A and B are shown apart, each in its own frame.
Chain A
Amino acid sequence: MALLQISEPGKSASPHRHRLAAGIDLGTTNSLVATVRSGMAVVLSDEEGHALLPSVVHYLNNGKVEVGHAAQVQQSHDPHNTIVSAKRFMGRGLHDIDDIGHYPYRFVDAPGMVQLNTVNGVKSPVEVSAEILKALKARAEKSLGDELAGAVITVPAYFDDAQRQATKDAARLAGLNVFRLLNEPTAAAIAYGLDNASEGVFVVYDLGGGTFDVSILRLSRGVFEVLATNGDSALGGDDFDRRIFCWMLEKFQIPPLGPEDTRLLLTKAREAKEQLTYHQQTRITGVLSTGDVIDLTLDNDTFGKLTQHLVGKTLAPIRKALRDADIATTDVQGVVMVGGATRIPQIQRAVAEFFRQEPLNNLDPDKVVALGAAIQANVLAGNKDENELLLLDVIPLSLGLETMGGLAEKIIPRNSTIPVARAQEFTTFKDGQTAMSIHVVQGERELVSDCRSLARFELRGIPPMAAGAARVRVTFQVDADGLLSVSAREQISGVEAHITVKPSYGLTDDEIATMLQSSFSHASTDKEARALREAQVEADQLLAAIRAALEQDGDVLLDAAERAELERHMDALKSAMKEAGRDAIAYATSALNRASETFAARRMDASINRALTGRKIDDLKV
C-alpha cells in the first residue's frame, strides 16, 4: 500500500514548481535578458561573455538572419540589409520619421507601419524586433536549461499605444509568453529601490540610444507608485551621434554620401561621443569609399555646443512631469540615472544643476532595466519572492476621441493609474442618424490632427431618432500593460460595438498568424501539433490554478454542491485532455473557466475584506 503523504503545515501540498521567467530590455541600441536565480537578479551573457546584445539584425540573401555582434560588423558593409535602431520605427508610419534621409535603408511606405526592403524580403520593424527577442529567448533557455514560462518586456514609459502593441506583437512573433509590458524607468526603479531599500520620491532619468523617459515615483515599503511620467520617444544617444555626423559633413565639405559611408561616419560619430565622456578631445579618422580621408579633432566644448539643445530638450519633459505630479525639485530624494547616454558629462551636469543634487549613478545604467524586469517577471510567474512588490504605473499620454470640428475630447487623462476605465456619453448630430463613427486618438493637443490616430470604428444600427436623442456610451479601458480597448453602446436600443485598439499601426491577429505560420514552415513545425500543445498547456495551467485555489479557499468559500459542480468541470477537462483534440480541450477549458467565475469573485471579495480588516479568511464564512 502506498504511504499517505502529509504536507508541512502552512505549505501547499502540491509543491510549487519554480517557473522560469525572464526580464527583457529591448533597447534601441542594446538588448539584454535577465532572470532571478537563487533569489538574485542576474543578467545572462552569451557564450563569449557579452551581456549586451547589439539590437542589430542582418538579413542575408540565403534567407539566413544574423543578430547582435555578428550583424553589427556588417553595418557599413551591407547597410541596406543591416537594420539598427528598429525600435525607432515601431508603430510608426513613414511620415512620422522626420530624419528619413539619415537612414541607409530602403523604406517602404506601408499603410500601417513603415517597412524595410531587404534581400530577405520586406520586413516590418515588428519582425526585426522579433529576431532580437528570439535571440534573447534562445540565450535564456540555453542558460536556464528549459523553456521560459513567460517574460516581462520593457518599453519606454512614453511609448504610445501603437508602439506598445507593436512590441507585444513582436514578442508573440518570437514565441514569448508576455507576462507584462513594463515601463523602463519603473523597471529601473525596482532594481534601484530594492537594492537600496529606498523610501520617498525618486526621479528616474532614462536617456538611452533612441528614447528619453522621465518618471517620478513614490517608493514605500515595496510599493512603487508612479506619480507622473513624460519623455520623448525619439530622443537619445543616436541624436547626439547625428549632431557629430552633421558637424563632420560641414567641416569636411563632404559630397552626398552613399549608405555605406553614412553608416561608417555614424559609427565614427558614436565612438567619438563615447570617447568624449572620458577625454577632453578625440580624433576621428576614416577612409570613405571615394578614397577621401577623414581626419578631424572634436573637443568637448564644441561637442557641448553642438548638443546643447538636445540636453535642453530633456528638461522640458521633466518640468511637465513635476507639475503633473505636483512635486517640487526640493521634494526629490534622489535622481536615478539610467541608459548609456547618461554617461555624457553634459547630461550629468545639467541634471545635477536642475535638481540641485548629484544624480545617483551607483547601478550599471546598461543593466538596471533588465534586472528590474527580471524581478517583476519572477513575481508574476508566481515564484515566491521575499520582495513583496507592487507596481502602480500610469499611462503617459491622454486618450480621447474625435468630436465635431476635429477637436479631441479627452476621456482618460495622461498619468492616470492603470488599470483604468472611463466612460462618456455622446449623442447624434443629425435627425435619423443611424451610425456613428468613433475615432480614437492619443495625445495632449486640442486638434485631432495634432494627436496620434489609434483606431477608427463604427457603431451601426442606431434606431432613427431626433438629433441629440440617442445616448451612445463610449467606454475606454486600459489594462495593466497600458493597452487600450474601446467599446461603444447605444443605451436606448442596446446596440454595441467594441474593439481592442489594434491601432492602424498594429498587426491584425491574422497577420500575426500568417507570420507565425511562415516562420514555422521553415522550421517545419506542425501547426496543428503546436496548437494542440498550446491548448494542453493552457488546460494544465487552469487546472493547476483552480486546484491551488480550492486548496486555499475551497472549504470556506464553496458549499458542497458548488464544489462538486466545479470538480465535475475539472474532470470533464481532464478527460478531454486524455482523448480529445484541440477543439474539445479548448471547449472544456472555457467551460471550466466560466464555472469558476463565482468562486473567483468570492475569492477576490474575501481578499478585499482581509485587506481591510486584517481578519483571517476563516472568519468570513459566506
Chain B
Amino acid sequence: MVNHFELFNLPARYDIDRTALDQTYRKLQGEVHPDRYATATSAERLRSAQMATLVNEAYQTLKSPVDRARYLLHLHGIDTQEETNTAMPADFLMQQLEWREAIEDAHAAADIAALENLLTDLKHEAANLETQLGTTIDEQHNHARAADLVRKLRFLDKVRDETKLAIEALET
C-alpha cells in the first residue's frame, strides 16, 4: 500500500506544492474515475470505484492543512489524541470562551455581519497556526508541539462550524 504522499508523487512534508497536488489529482481521477469504466468488466468497475475513493480521500487529506499535518504525524507514529487530550493552555481556552460568547451574542442579536466577521477572524487565526505548523514539522521536527497545534486547529474548526450553523439558522 502506498501512502497518500506517494500516491501523489509528493515529498512527505507539510509544505507542499498546491498546484502540483491539484494537477496530479485531476490526472489520477482522469485515469481511475468510475466514469472511465462505465462499460468495463465488473472487476474493473469495482477496482475503479475503490481507487477513485482512495484518490479522493488522499486528495482531501493532503489539501487540508490540519488533515495533512495529522496524517504526517500519523506516518511518524504520533497520535494527535484529539478526542482524549483536551488539555489546552489557559489563554487559548479563554479565547475560545470569548468566541463562543460572541457567537451567542450575535445569534441573539440576529447579527449575521458579526458572525461573518468572526468567521474571518477564525480564518486568520487558523492561518497563523498553520504557518507555525509548517516550521514545527518541516524545520524543527518537533512532533509533540505539532500535535498541540493540530489539537488547537481542531478546536478552531469546531468553533467555525458552530459559527456557520448560527449563520444558517439566522438565514432560514
**Cβ–Cβ contact B172 & A316, under 8 A:** yes
Other 10 A-B pairs with CB < 8 A, given A380-B39, A612-B9: A316-B171, A379-B35, A392-B33, A549-B40, A597-B47, A600-B40, A600-B47, A608-B7, A611-B27, A611-B30
Interface residues of A in 570-601 (CB under 8 A from B): 593-594, 596-597, 599-601
Give chain A's interface residue range (CB within 8 Å of chain B). 35 or more
Contact with B31, one of A381, A391, A599, A607 (Cβ below 8 angstroms):
A607
Binds B, one of A275-283, A298-306, A415-423, A494-502: A415-423
Given A316-B172, A607-B32, also A479-B41 (CB < 8 A) = no
Does B38 contact A390, Cβ atoms closer than 8 Å? Answer: no
Shortest CB-to-CB span from B62 to chain A, Å, is 13
Q: Report the separation of the CA atoms of residues A36 and B54 in the bound assembly, to the nearest whole angstrom.
A: 32
Type the 1/0 row for B54-91, where 1 means its CB is closer than 8 Å to any CB of A. Answer: 00110110000000000000000000000000000000
Q: Is B24 an interface residue (CB 8 A)?
A: yes
Q: Which residues of B contact A546 (CB under 8 A)?
A: 41
With A390-B30, A391-B35, A608-B31 already in contact, the answer to whether A421 and B47 are too (CB < 8 A) is no
Name A's B-contacting residues (CB within 8 A).
Answer: 19, 150, 179-180, 220, 223, 316, 319-320, 323, 376, 379-382, 388, 390-392, 416-421, 444, 477, 479-480, 541-542, 545-546, 549, 593-594, 596-597, 599-601, 603-604, 607-608, 610-613
CA–CA, A220 and B167, complex, Å: 31
- The interface size of chain B toward A, counting residues with CB under 8 Å, comes to 37
What are some 14 contacts across the A-B interface (CB < 8 A)?
A150-B38, A180-B38, A319-B171, A390-B26, A418-B56, A419-B56, A477-B53, A542-B41, A545-B41, A597-B47, A600-B46, A604-B47, A611-B24, A611-B30
A388, A392, A416, A549 interface centre (most CB from chain B within 10 Å)? A392
Residues of B within 8 A of A391 (CB): 35
Assess whether B114 is interfacial by the CB under 8 Å rule: no
Q: Determine the distance from Cα of A607 to Cα of B27 in the docked complex, in whole angstroms.
A: 10
B39 and A541 within 8 A (CB): yes
Known contacts: A223-B26, A480-B35, A611-B30. The answer to whether A545 contacts B49 by CB under 8 A is: no
Which residues from 109 to 162 on chain B have a C-beta closer than 8 Å to any C-beta of chain A?
Answer: 119
* CB-CB nearest in chain B for A380: B38
Instruction: Judge if B51 is at the interface, Cβ distance under 8 Å.
Output: yes
Q: Which residue of A lies closest to B56 (CB)?
A: A417
- Chain A residues with CB under 8 Å of B48's CB are 604
B: residues with CB less than 8 A from A are 7, 9, 24, 26-35, 38-44, 46-49, 51-53, 56-57, 59-60, 119, 164, 167-168, 171-172
* Inter-chain contacts of B52 with A (CB < 8 A): 419, 480
Q: Are B53 and A421 in contact (CB under 8 A)?
A: yes
The interface residues of chain B lying within 8 Å CB-to-CB of A390 are 26, 29-30, 33, 35
Q: Is the CB of A323 within 8 A of B53?
A: no
Q: CA–CA, A611 to B9, complex, Å?
A: 10
Minimum Cβ distance to chain A for residue B58 (Å): 11
Residues of A within 8 A of B40 (CB): 545, 549, 600
B43 touches A594 (CB 8 A): yes
**Pair A320/B43 contact, Cβ less than 8 Å:** no
Write the chain A residue with the least CB distance to B23. Answer: A220
> Considering only CB atoms, which chain B residue lies closest to A595 in the complex?
B43
Q: A316-B171, A612-B27 are in contact. Are A597 and B43 (CB under 8 A)?
A: yes
Question: A480: shortest Cβ distance to chain B, in Å?
Answer: 4
A419–B171 touching, CB < 8 Å: no
CA–CA, A594 to B51, complex, Å?
A: 18
The answer to whether A596 and B43 have CB atoms under 8 Å apart is: yes
How far is it, in angstroms, between the C-alpha of A379 and the C-alpha of B30 when the chains are bound? 13
- The minimal Cβ–Cβ distance linking B64 to chain A, given in whole angstroms, is 11
Question: Smallest Cβ distance from A564 to chain B, in angstroms?
Answer: 18
Contact (A323, B167) CB under 8 Å given A546-B41, A594-B43: yes
Known: A323-B167, A392-B29, A600-B43. A417 touches B60 (CB 8 A): yes
Known contacts A419-B49, A419-B53, A604-B48; is A611 also within 8 Å of B28 by CB? yes
- For B119, list chain A residues within 8 Å (CB): 323
Instruction: Give the complex CA separation of A594 and B46 in angstroms.
Output: 11
Closest-CB distance, B48 to chain A (whole angstroms): 7
Min CB–CB distance B45 → chain A (angstroms): 9
Report the separation of the CA atoms of residues A416 and B67 in the bound assembly, to the nearest whole angstrom: 15
Complex CA–CA separation, A4 to B38 (angstroms): 33
CB <8 Å contact, A380 and B35: yes
Most chain A beta-carbon contacts within 10 A, residue among B28, B31, B33, B167: B31
Across the interface, B53 reaches (CB within 8 A) one of A320, A382, A420, A541, namely A420
Judging by beta carbons under 8 Å apart, are A480 and B34 in contact?
yes
Contacts of A604 in B (CB 8 A): 31-32, 44, 47-48, 51
Most buried by B among A150, A421, A613: A421
Q: How far is the CA of A593 from the CA of B38 in the complex (A)?
A: 15
CA of A613 to CA of B6 in the docked complex: distance in angstroms?
Answer: 12
Select which of B24, B26, B43, B168 is within 8 A of A612 by beta carbon: B24
Of B24, B35, B52, B57, most A-chain CB atoms within 10 Å: B35
